Chain A
Amino acid sequence: MNTPAIEVRGLRKSYGAKAVLDDVDLTVDAGTVTALLGPNGAGKTTTVHILSTLVRPDGGTALVNGCDVVRNPDGVRAAIGLTGQFSAVDRLLTGEENLLLMARLRHLGAKRSKTRVAELLEQFDLVEAARKPLATYSGGMQRRLDLAMTLVSAPSVIFLDEPTTGLDPRSRHTMWDIVRSLVADGTTVLLTTQYLDEADELADRIAVLDGGRLVAEGTPDELKRLVPGGHIRLRFADAARLDAASRLLGESARDDAGLSLTVPSDGGVGTLRTVLDRLDTANLEVDDLSIHTPDLDDVFFALTGRVETKGTES
C-alpha cells in the first residue's frame, strides 16, 4: 500500500471566468477516509467529479489507484464507485432490478450477480422493498439503494458526495455506520460534507476547501485546534453600543445588520467571564448572548477570517 489511493497535484478547473478549483493538492492514503469539507460552491463536487472522470480538469494531474483520470479513465472507472448528491438510480425499475443491472454491467456473471445482489439487499435493509418500484421508496431507502449499487463490484475507492444531505437523523447514522464498515474492510473513501461533525465522526483526515482553494488539511484534532471551542455571540440594542464593544473586544467579527458581534472563545467559563467583565467595566449593556460550539462556520472563521460561508452551488 505504498501508492496513495488518490493523488491530486495542482488541480485546476474553471467554468468561463470563474475558477472553481484553483491549484488543489490532495493525497489520500489507501484504506483511509478523507473528508472534503466546505460550503456550497467551494469546489467539493467538482473535485469528486474530476476524480470520477465525469469532468475533465483544465490543469494539474489526478491519479486514482495510480491511473490518470484523463489518460486512463477506464482504469479509474474499474476501481471506483461514486454516490453523488443526485440519486443515481433507475426510477423505472425496482430496487432488485437496479442492483442486477449494476451486477451485469460489472460483469459478475449470473451466479455471483444473484448472490451479491441478495447480500446487498440484506445488508442495506432493502429485502422487503426489493421488488417494489422506486416510487414507493423513502429518501433514506433511495440513498441506501444508491450506495448499494455503487458497492456491487466492491470498488477499492469510493466517492461519497454529501452522502447525508437531506437525510433524517436516523438515516444519517445508518449511513455513517455503512461508511465505517466500508473502511473496516479496507476501502478508501473520499467524502464531501458541509458538516464538521460528520467529518469529525468519519474522517481520518479533513481537507477544507474554500472558493476552490485548499485552505487547511489535517486530522480532525489538528483542525479543531484552529477553532478552540467556538464563539460567543453578543447582540446590542444600537449601533453605538456595537461600535464601542467592537473597539473594546478587538479580535471579533461584527454584523452591522444584526447589531451583533462574534467573539472567538475556547468554550470555557474563563473566556466568557473575561468578555462580560470587560463589557461591564465599559458599561456596555448586552441585549442577548449565545454560546456556540465549533461548527463549519467557526472553522471558516478561524481559517479565512470570514463568518459568512454561504455561497452558490457550482
Chain B
Amino acid sequence: MTTIAAKRRTAPGTGQQSHVIADSVTMLRRNLLHMLRYPGLSVFTIVGPVVLLLFFVFVFGGTLGAGLPGADPAGGREAYVAYVMPGILLLTIAGSAGGIATTVSMDMTEGITARFRTMAISRAAVLAGHVLGNTIQAIIAVVLVLGVGLLIGFRPTAGFVEWISAAGLIVLIAYAISWLGVAMGMQAKSAETASNLPLVLTFLPFLSSGFVPTESMPEWLQWFAQYQPFTPFIEAIRGLLLGTPLGWSPVLAIGWCVVLVVAGYAWSMAIYERKSVR
C-alpha cells in the first residue's frame, strides 16, 4: 500500500461545464448496465401491456370492434386489433414512467448520488442519464409489444415515410414521458411510493381515444379525453400507421411533448437542487 495517489493534481476551477454530454453518456451507460443486470422492472414494462393487449383483443375485442363506427359486426375483432394498437403502444410508454420513478427514487437515497454531488458533474447529466436510459427501454418495449400486435393480426398500412415519422414521434413521446417520470421519482418520499404518481399516467390512455372513440363517452369525460395529451399522441400514431385522418394531432402531440419535457426538466432540476444529503 504505497503511492496511492497519482502524480497529477487537479487544478482548482478547471472548466468542467463542457462535459455535460460526455457525462450524460457515462450516466446512461451506468443505467443501461443496471437494466441488464436487474431486468425485473424492464420485463414488467413489456409484459403488462402485452397482457392488456391480449385481454382487450380476445376478451372485449369482438364486442368493442363491432361497436366501432362503420365497422362490420362480423369482423369486429380484426377491426379492434387495428383500433386498439396505438393505445396499447402509448400505454407501454406511459407504463415505463412507473419503472423510472422507482429507479430514480431508489438512486437518490444511494450514497453514490451524494458522491456525484461532490464531483464536478452537471446536475442535468445525472438526470439525463436516467431519462435516456428509460427512453431506450421504452422504445425497446414498444417494438416488442408492436411485434406481438403483428403476430395477432395488426396490419399497418403505413409507407416508409409514415413509419419513420411514427418512430420519431414515439421516441419524442418516450423522451417527454421519461422526464416526467424522473421528476415524479424525485418528488417521491420513498421508493415504495415512487410509482404511485406515475400510475395516473397509465390511466390516461384509457381516458383517451385509445380504447374506444371519445364520442362514445359521456360529455364531461369527452371533454377531458379530447384535451389531454394522450388523445393527440394516439391519434397521430393511428393516423401514421393506419391512414386515419391526422388533422392537427401531430402538431398537438409535438407541442405536448415540448411542454412535458420543459415541465419535467424544470421540476426535477428544482428538486435535485433542493434535496440535500441525509
A-side residues, CB < 8 A to B, are 49, 52-55, 65-67, 72, 74-82, 84, 86-93, 97, 101, 104-107, 116, 119, 123-125, 133, 149, 151, 153-156, 174, 177-178, 181-182, 184-187
| CB nearest to B13 among chain A residues | A75
Tell me the complex Cα distance, A105–B13, Å.
16
Beta-carbon contact of B111 and A87 below 8 Å: yes
Beta-carbon contact of A74 and B112 below 8 Å: no
Of the 9-residue stretches B3-11, B67-75, B82-90, which lies at the interface with chain A? B3-11
Tell me the complex Cα distance, A173–B10, Å.
28
Apart from A97-B33, A181-B3, A185-B5, 19 more pairs, CB < 8 Å: A49-B277, A53-B118, A54-B277, A65-B12, A66-B12, A67-B13, A72-B13, A74-B120, A84-B114, A88-B112, A88-B115, A90-B110, A92-B33, A105-B121, A123-B1, A125-B1, A151-B5, A174-B1, A182-B4
Tally of chain B residues near chain A (CB < 8 A): 40
A185 to chain B, nearest CB (A): 4
18 of the cross-chain contacts (CB-CB < 8 Å) are A52-B118, A54-B114, A65-B12, A77-B118, A79-B12, A82-B115, A84-B111, A88-B114, A92-B33, A101-B26, A105-B23, A105-B121, A123-B4, A125-B1, A153-B8, A154-B6, A154-B10, A178-B1
B-side residues, CB < 8 A to A, are 1-14, 16-17, 19, 22-23, 26, 29-30, 33-34, 37-38, 110-112, 114-121, 276-278
| CB nearest to A65 among chain B residues | B12
Query: Known contacts A84-B111, A86-B114, A106-B119; is A185 also within 8 Å of B16 by CB?
Result: no
Beta-carbon contact of A88 and B111 below 8 Å: yes
Please name all residues of chain A whose beta carbon is closer than 8 Å to the beta carbon of B26 when the two chains form the complex: 101, 104-105
Please name all residues of chain A whose beta carbon is closer than 8 Å to the beta carbon of B30 when the two chains form the complex: 90, 93, 101
Q: Which of A80, A92, A178 contacts B34 (CB 8 A)?
A: A92
B122 to chain A, nearest CB (A): 9
Beta-carbon contact of B119 and A77 below 8 Å: yes
Q: Which of A53, A75, A90, A185 contacts B117 (CB 8 A)?
A: A53
Tell me the complex Cα distance, A133–B37, Å.
10
Beta-carbon contact of A74 and B5 below 8 Å: no
The B contact surface, by secondary structure, is: loop
| CB nearest to A67 among chain B residues | B12
Please name all residues of chain A whose beta carbon is closer than 8 Å to the beta carbon of B9 when the two chains form the complex: 154, 156
| CB nearest to B114 among chain A residues | A88
Nearest 9 A/B pairs, CB to CB: A75-B13, A88-B111, A88-B115, A77-B120, A154-B6, A185-B5, A104-B26, A65-B12, A86-B111
Please name all residues of chain B whose beta carbon is closer than 8 Å to the beta carbon of A87 when the two chains form the complex: 111
B161 to chain A, nearest CB (A): 39
Query: Known contacts A65-B12, A72-B13; is A89 also within 8 Å of B112 by CB?
Result: yes
Beta-carbon contact of A89 and B111 below 8 Å: yes
Tell me the complex Cα distance, A297–B60, Å.
74
Please name all residues of chain A whose beta carbon is closer than 8 Å to the beta carbon of B121 when the two chains form the complex: 105
Tell me the complex Cα distance, A77–B26, Å.
18
Q: Which of B11, B17, B30: most chain A Cβ within 10 A?
A: B30
A137 to chain B, nearest CB (A): 14
Beta-carbon contact of B16 and A78 below 8 Å: yes
Beta-carbon contact of B110 and A79 below 8 Å: no
Q: Which of B3, B33, B118, B277 contacts A80 (CB 8 A)?
A: B118
A14 to chain B, nearest CB (A): 14
Please name all residues of chain A whose beta carbon is closer than 8 Å to the beta carbon of B23 when the two chains form the complex: 105
Please name all residues of chain A whose beta carbon is closer than 8 Å to the beta carbon of B110 when the two chains form the complex: 90-91
Tell me the complex Cα distance, A290–B155, Å.
89
Beta-carbon contact of A181 and B37 below 8 Å: no
Please name all residues of chain B whose beta carbon is closer than 8 Å to the beta carbon of A155 when the two chains form the complex: 10
Please name all residues of chain A whose beta carbon is closer than 8 Å to the beta carbon of B5 when the two chains form the complex: 151, 154, 182, 185-187
Q: Which of A52, A55, A125: most chain B Cβ within 10 A?
A: A52
